[in-house]
Structure 1
Amino acid sequence: MTAAAAGRQEDRAEGGEPARRRLRSRGSACLAALLLTGVTGLLGFRVADSDGFTPVPQLLAFLPWLLAPTVAALLLAALARWRIGLVWGVLALGGVAWFLEPYGRADAPDGPAVAEIRVMASNVEFGRGTPGLVDAVRKEKPDLLFVPECDYTCSDTLRDELPRAEYPYRSGSEASGAEGSLIVSRFPLKKASGIPGTLGMPGAVAELKDGHEIRVQLAHPMPPLPEQVGVWRSELAGLRDYAAAGKGGSTIIGGDFNATQDHAAFRDILDTGGLRDAARLAGSARTPSWPAALMSPLGTQIDHVLATPDFSARDARFLEIGDTDHRALVVDLTLHRQEQDR
């Protein structure tokens, strides 16, 4: 090889490394742009107060975990030295952080305490989690128990295993599989119509010792499966209408809402019905309840206890009961006397 040919080959080799760096930089920038486009699109629906269409409702349930792709996009933009991407990423990160804040009011009612009520909500997944629920009830001793997906066997087990002297009252939708649901109570229950739905959503009116009545309603709308988003939205609207119809009275709604605070249809229940999320009031607003197989803090909170503003809340806990894909929620509510009650 001549000296001139060797020099030309060395020049080409030296020019190859910058070209490879430029190629890697473009790849990093493209991947960052792809991630930020997805994050920004979801944030757009959240800002617009809309649940959109599949896959938006499904992804909105995990909105807090948009932090991961947003941070990854920022790192990729930094590697690529892409200034627009860095600014875009910072704005997206700020948007996600903004919506991490718990939604809804958290102020305590002013009136004196009337009654203490411990509430438990536990989806037992086709009845499979019933044995664990029985153990949890014996330990936690709730006054009101909401049990979505309580099939015939679950209903019979709770009747046989829970002391009848302590839990003599129930209101349920007797059915197999996910369609069965049950409310169990220490307080006398008067019949109520409940809410029509694909899955059982029974209701009742609980009568306290002082004569105060509380509307109680189990929530279990259809999940937002790709082919069922319309049904999911409609059944959440049914819960919203139920809450709005009881304004001025005491109401507790508990169960598996298949929705989080990042779903517009769920926020509409709070806003229109004047309800507040008990976990939010008690400081556990982002604790995940599903799927239980994932380690906390992974997952999302779709199990809730909602109450009217005459309730305060404390000590909200999410319990592993076993053999179900949901964690049970236990929260202590205090009913306060309002001005109109005096």
Structure 2
Amino acid sequence: MTITDAPPAARPVGRRRLVWTGLLWVSLVPAAIWLAGRTFGWSAGFWVQLLAFTPYVAVWTLIPVLGALITRRWAAAAVAALIALGFATAVAPRVVADGDKGPSTGVELRVMTTNMLFGGADADEIVRLVRDNGIDVLAVQEFTERGQQALAAAGLEQLLPFNQLAPEWGASGSGLYSRHDFAEQAARRNDGGFQQAHAVVQVPGAGTVYVESVHPLAPSSRDVVAGWAADLDDQVPAEGGLPKILLGDFNATLDHKALRDLIDTGYRDAADTVGKGWIGTWGPYDGDPIPPVTIDHVLADDRIGVKDVQVHSVKDSDHRAVIAWLTLPAA
């Protein structure tokens, strides 16, 4: 053996170290691409669907950080930490209540949204949630005539006697039920083909507020992503006119730039505002093996305060109901 030869036992160790270093760096590439796509709003094909699972990826990015630190790959540790910090900046605020929740005094309005899964969700359970929580306005999506009849039989109209209903077969129907009368009411069909019931609700002591049951097209395949983005872009912006509340199945999470752009017109996401923005609302609730994601939202105009949010499972629906306690400015 010459003086320059490495001992035979050292060669496998060196190769293993090189392999582990390479694997560590390779593991950072998809996370970095994911973060860039999320940050800059890339929306193409199935990537839109994957973005909904960003919080899970954010947690996963801690593994390369720990692996690099344990194995003393300092350069890789620094890059992994920057990526993890980027994800944390994007998703961690959802579990921390905002310092600014909007007005804290005024008139309380309790709103609830629920997707009825082709009208088959348990109507008795929906009505129980309305009754037990003193709901003032209920928005329903995937609202069919069967669902309308079931809600009526369960006594919903005794609790919320005013309504704007657009039931349809399948997933495209929409409805609003209210404790308070409407000054105006209608339903519009978005470009994706779904109805969106909307009304100007006359709230005693607070004047009027615009409320809409939102249900943009789902980005279920590549050829409908453009329609999904167009539907979100076509939602009513917050600025100007009456205070506004949009609630429903947005088919988007806070990791989709299209939804963030809508919020930036002057809304607050109610769950995000009170530190409950990670609570899943769609996925495994009817037995599908899908990790929970948060696609049902209550967006409240910045002129409206947010007090609290609760999320409840509803039997025979793949969505959970979202309830928000809001504060409207007094008239």
TM-score (norm 2): 0.86
Deviation larger for 260-269 or 53-62 = 53-62
Q: Could you report, residue by residue, the CA deviation over 1:38-57 in whole angstroms, capped at 9, with x for unpaired residues?
A: 11111112332x13323332
Aligned match of 2:73? 82
Is the contact made by 1:292 and 1:320 (CA closer than 8 Å) also made in structure 2? no
1:35-54 alignment, distance < 5 Å = 35-48=27-40, 50-54=41-45
**Match for residue 61 of structure 1 among 52, 58, 74:** 52
Partner of residue 192, structure 1: 186
AA paired with 1:47?
Answer: T
User: How far off its partner does 1:117 sit?
Assistant: 1.0
Please give the per-residue CA displacement for 1:176-233, whole angstroms capped at 9, x wherever unaligned: 1211221111111332343523222221111223471111111111122232211110
- Structure with the bigger percentage of helix: 1
Indicate whether 1:219 and 2:224 are aligned.
no
Find the counterpart in structure 2 of residue 99 from structure 1: 90
Structure holding more strand per residue: 2
Q: Aligned partners of 1:121, 1:37: CA distance in 2, in Å? A: 39
Matches within 5 A, 1:230-269: 230-239=226-235, 242-244=236-238, 247-269=240-262
Structure 1 residues not aligned, in runs of 5+? 1-6
- Deviation digits for residues 16-74 of structure 1 (CA, Å, limit 9, x no counterpart): x54443443343333322321111111112332x1332333222212221234322323
Pick from 304, 322, 335 the counterpart of residue 328 of structure 2: 335
Separation in 1, partners of 2:129, 2:151 = 12
| Equivalent of residue 172 in structure 2, options 172, 175, 179 | 179
Query: How far apart are the structure 2 equivalents of 1:185 and 1:289?
Result: 23
Structure 2 distance, partners of 1:199, 1:26, is 55
2: CA distance, partners of 1:144 / 1:292: 26
Separation (CA, whole Å) in 1 of partners of 2:274 and 2:66 = 36
Deviation at 1:269, TM superposition (A): 0.8
| Relative contact order higher in (CA < 8 Å, ≥ 6 apart) | 2
Give the 3 Å change call, closer, same or farther, for CA 76–211 of structure 1 in structure 2.
Answer: closer
Superposition CA RMSD, Å: 2.8
Residue in structure 2 matched with residue 71 of structure 1 by the alignment: 62
Q: What is residue 201 of structure 2 aligned with on the other side?
A: 206
| Aligned counterpart in structure 2 of residue 285 of structure 1, from 269, 272, 277 | 277
CA distance in 1, matches of 2:98, 2:275: 12
* CA distance 1:105–1:247, change in 2 (3 Å): farther
Contact 2:194 2:215 survives alignment (8 Å) = yes
SS, match of residue 177 in structure 1: coil
8 Å contact 2:101–2:307 — kept in the other structure?
Answer: no
Aligned residues with identical type, % of pairs: 29
Change (3 A) 1:24 1:176: farther
Kindly tell me: are residues 86 and 147 of structure 1, through their superposed partners in 2, closer, same or farther at Cα, counting changes over 3 Å? same
Contact kept? 2:201, 2:211, Cα under 8 Å = yes
Cα distance change on mapping 1:163 and 1:152 into 2, 3 Å: closer
Between the aligned partners of 1:108 and 1:80, the Cα distance in structure 2 is 44
Q: Counterpart of 1:86 in 2: which secondary structure?
A: helix
- Equivalent pair of 2:280/2:293 in contact (CA under 8 Å): yes
Between the two proteins, the alignment pairs up a number of residues equal to 319
**Cα separation, partners in 2 of 1:289 and 1:176, compared to 1, 3 Å:** same
Measured against aligned partners, the alpha-carbon deviations of 1:280-303 in whole angstroms (never above 9, x if no partner) come to 233312222122449xxx622111
Deviates more, 1:95-104 or 1:59-68: 95-104
Q: Is the 8 A contact 1:35 1:70 kept in 2?
A: no
1 CA distance for matches of 2:31 and 2:148? 43
Q: Name the CA shift for 1:89/1:127 in 2 (closer, same or farther; >3 Å).
A: same
2:155 and 2:17 mapped to 1: Cα distance? 64
1:320 to 297, 313, 316: 313
CA shift at 1:265, angstroms?
0.4
Alpha-carbon distance in 2 for matches of 1:144, 1:129: 18
1:162: which partner in 2?
Answer: 155
Structure 2 counterpart SS, 1:164: helix
Gap change, CA 1:336 and 1:210, over 3 Å in 2: closer
